[in-house]
């Protein structure tokens, strides 16, 4: 797992406090916190389910198809999607500032 974390730093941030030493997500903060949660908190809470859902939407395939993909294909698709979404958010912010 350490190799994956180092290979995909955008997916697995090193300073995540949501993960405990045993690899399980922290205790469920409840619906109030979920309403205020940003994308990173959402991913920290739902883990692989959020990743599978994102890859499924990007690839336009079922969750079952994503679960059958190789780890490399899944993580590359997820990393691409995160970078693409971050770029789009940056472009939108620049547009808002100039218009």
pLDDT digits (tens, 9 = 90+) for 9-27: 877 766 644 444 455 555 5
Q: What is the number of other CB atoms lying within 10 angstroms of the CB of residue 36?
A: 8
Q: Model pTM?
A: 0.64
pLDDT at 19: 46
Over residues 85-98, mean pLDDT: 96
Closest by CA position to 44, among listed 59, 35, 34, 31: 34
Cβ contacts of residue 53 below 8 Å, gap of 6+? Answer: 46, 63
pLDDT digits (tens, 9 = 90+) for 41-86: 888 888 899 999 999 999 999 999 999 999 999 999 999 999 999 9
């Amino acid at each position: 797992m350490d190799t994956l974390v180092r290979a995909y730093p955008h997916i697995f941030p090193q300073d995540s406090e949501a993960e405990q030493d045993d690899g399980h997500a922290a205790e469920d903060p409840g619906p109030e916190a979920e309403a205020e949660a940003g994308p990173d908190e959402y991913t920290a809470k739902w883990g692989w389910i959020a990743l599978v859902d994102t890859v499924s939407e990007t690839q336009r395939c079922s969750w079952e198809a994503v679960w059958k993909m190789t780890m490399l294909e899944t993580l590359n698709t997820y990393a691409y999607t995160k970078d693409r979404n971050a770029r789009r958010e940056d472009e939108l912010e620049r547009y808002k500032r100039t218009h």
